[in-house]
Amino acid sequence: MIGPPPELEAILGELEKAIGKLAGGTAPLDELVSAHERALRLLSEAQALLAELKERADQTANLLST
């Protein structure tokens, strides 16, 4: 089985750290706000990368079906 590409793994790892900080809830408010903003950016990056990977997979599937 093929795993996610390294760049997606890195984004998800960083997202996990940001969410962990938020879940702890014990950091100062400014750090929690920064972690929230970072999590939103990382989520956006992950979604864009997944959309790109889906497009590439769709293109490959179309090539293989013709």
Residue 38: the pLDDT is 95
Share of the chain above pLDDT 90, in %: 80
Is-above-0.75 flag for pTM? yes
CA distance 1 to 39: 28
CA distance 15 to 42: 6
Q: pLDDT category, 2, cuts 50, 70, 90? A: confident
The answer to whether position 53 is within a domain reads yes
Domain total of the chain: 1
Residue 4: the pLDDT is 76
The answer to whether position 2 is within a domain reads no
Q: Could you read off the pLDDT of 36-61 as tens digits, one per residue? A: 999 999 999 999 999 999 999 999 99
The answer to whether position 1 is within a domain reads no
Beta strands per DSSP E along 1-66? none
Dihedral of alpha carbons 26, 29, 30, 34, sign = positive
Mean local confidence (pLDDT), 4-8: 87
**Residue 10 corresponds to which amino acid?**
A
CA distance 9 to 6: 5
